[in-house]
Amino acid sequence: MRHWLAMPSLLLCLSLCLPAGAAQLRLEAGALSRTWTTAQLLAHPQARTVDIPADVSYKRAMHYRAVPVAALLDGLRDTDHLQAVASDGFAAEMPAAPLLQRGPAQAWLAIEDPAAPWPPLAAGKPSAGPFYIVWSDPQASGIRPEQWPFRVTHLRRLAPVAQRFPMMLPDPALPAAAAERQGFALFQQNCMACHRLNGGGDAQVGPDLNRPHNPTEYFQAGWLRQLIRDPQGLRQWPQGKMPGFSEAVLNEQELDALLAYLKHMAGRKA
C-alpha cells in the first residue's frame, strides 16, 4: 500500500496476530473512529442471528450472529464514502448510503464466534471471518457481490474515488451519458476491490489494468469477455482468485460499458 497507509497496515497486522477471541474491527472516520473486539460485537445490544438464504461467498444458505452495520456507523452520513479493507488486501469501495439504510436491503456485520468457527471458504482456505459484511434481501437494492467483503479488518471513511484517484477518470470532455462514464462507475463497483488502474487504487490482489498494458490491448474482444464471465474457464491455475461475473451481476449492456471504459483508458495511461 501507499506510505500513507503504512500505519493502518501495521494495525491490520497486529489485529490479525491477536488471539481469535480478540480479533478487532477498526472504524477510521476522524472524530468518529472506534475499535471493537469480537467479544464486544457478539455482546452488542443489537446483535442477533440472521439467516442469509444465498450467501455470496459460501454459495449456500448461512446463518450468522450479526450486528446491523448502521449501528456501528452512528454519526456518518449517507453522502460519506467508505472503504472496507480485508486481511488479504481486498479493498471494497462502498458508498455509505446502502450501509446505513434499514431496508429494503440491509447490511449486517457477521461476527465469527471463536467457540463456533465458520467453515473454510474452500479446501485449504480460511473462513470468511472474523468479520464479514452480509446482506438481507440484497436484490431489492441492487447489491453487488463486491459489496460482500469478508475477512474485514478496517472500515475507513475516505473521499470518493474520483477525488482520490484522478488518474482513473475518463476524459472530462465525454458526454454525461457516455458508456465510458458508466463503465467507470462499474469499474469502481466490480473491479477496484482487487485491481488498480494507472497506479490508482488501494487493492493489492490483482494486477493494474492499464499499466504497463491494458487487457483490451492484448486480448481479442471475445476472449476478454470470456475471461470476465468465467476466468477459470479461460485459463486455470490453482491460486486463481478472480470470480466470474455472470449476467445476473453484470448484464451485457453493463459489460459493454465496462469494456468501453477499459479501452478508453488504454489511451489515457498515466
Work out the mean pLDDT of the chain and round it to a whole number: 89
Confidence at 7, pLDDT banded by 50, 70, 90: very low
Q: Tell me what pLDDT residue 238 has.
A: 73
- Domain residue extents for the chain: 3-158, 162-265
Confidence at 204, pLDDT banded by 50, 70, 90: confident
Give the tens place of pLDDT for each residue, 210-240: 999 999 999 999 999 999 998 988 887 777 7
Give the tens place of pLDDT for each residue, 138-183: 988 889 888 999 999 999 999 999 999 999 999 999 999 999 999 9
Confidence at 21, pLDDT banded by 50, 70, 90: low
Is pLDDT of 83 > 80? Answer: yes
Asked if residue 137 lies in contact with residue 103, where contact means CB atoms within 8 angstroms, the answer is: yes
Q: Tell me what pLDDT residue 13 has.
A: 43
Greatest distance between any 2 Cα atoms in the chain: 56
State in Å, rounded, how far the first CA of the chain is from the last one. Answer: 18
Give the tens place of pLDDT for each residue, 110-125: 999 999 999 999 888 8
Task: Say how far apart CA 27 and CA 213 lie, in whole Å.
Answer: 36
CATH topology of domain 3-158: Sulfite Oxidase; Chain A, domain 2 (3.90.420)
The stretches of 45-89 forming alpha helices (DSSP H) are 69-72
Asked if residue 169 lies in contact with residue 100, where contact means CB atoms within 8 angstroms, the answer is: no
Give percent above pLDDT 70 in the chain.
91
Residue 2, phi then psi, degrees to nearest 5 = -65, 160
Q: Tell me what pLDDT residue 162 has.
A: 92
Task: Say how far apart CA 145 and CA 91 lie, in whole Å.
Answer: 13
Task: Say how far apart CA 255 and CA 137 lie, in whole Å.
Answer: 24
Is pLDDT of 17 > 50? Answer: no
Angle at 215 between CA 211 and CA 216, to 5 degrees: 115
Asked if residue 265 lies in contact with residue 169, where contact means CB atoms within 8 angstroms, the answer is: no
- Average pLDDT of span 63-78: 97
Domain 162-265 classification at class level:
mainly beta
> Three cell numbers at 226?
470470456
